[in-house]
């Protein structure tokens, strides 16, 4: 059984380093990690964290919502990818954001993950862009207001 729950910032670091930074410890802490409105989610199975995400309250000029949150640092252990953990994490994130009256969540999706986010109802904005030392990304967003059809 997988339990998807709020976790501490430091609990995200091992998967950030392993999955998002290819085992290198550079830039694994995010600006905003410790902000009062930031939260972190972990997918725990048998005491092991198999997936993570961070949500930081942050406006984006291309997303029309002053109370928008950025979904950042989402990662699932390599041997657990395509198992539904990512979906569980996004679903829990949206549940928490709706409780906070957030209407929009956005992310800078890695090119290879854009299809996953599209399946979750996210929409691409603009062209592919590069994040130095990380690779190609797309800006994507999802309306999560219960009054807005997805």
- Provide block-wise average pLDDT over 10 residues at a time, the chain (150 residues): 95 90 72 94 95 94 86 93 94 94 94 95 94 89 71
The CATH number given to 3-103 is: 3.40.630.30
Is residue 85 within 8 Å of 125, Cβ to Cβ? no
Query: Is residue 56 helix, strand or coil?
Result: strand
**Per-residue DSSP letter, 148:** S
Structure tokens that stand for 25 in this block: 């410890």
pTM above 0.75, yes or no: yes
> What are the sequence ranges of the domains in the chain?
3-103
């Amino acid at each position: 059984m997988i339990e998807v729950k709020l976790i501490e910032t430091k609990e995200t670091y091992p998967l950030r380093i392993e999955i998002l930074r290819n085992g290198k410890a550079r830039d694994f802490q995010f600006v905003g990690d410790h902000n009062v409105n930031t939260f972190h989610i972990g997918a725990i199975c048998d005491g092991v964290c198999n997936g993570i995400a961070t949500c930081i309250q942050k406006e984006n000029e291309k997303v029309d919502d002053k109370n928008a949150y950025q979904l950042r640092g989402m990662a699932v252990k390599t041997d657990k990818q395509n198992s539904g953990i990512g979906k569980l994490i996004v679903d829990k994130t949206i549940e928490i954001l709706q409780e906070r009256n957030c209407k929009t969540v956005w992310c800078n999706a890695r090119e290879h993950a854009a299809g996953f986010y599209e399946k979750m109802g996210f929409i691409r904005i603009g062209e592919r862009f590069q994040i130095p030392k990380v690779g190609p990304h797309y800006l994507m967003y999802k309306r999560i207001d219960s009054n807005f059809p997805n």
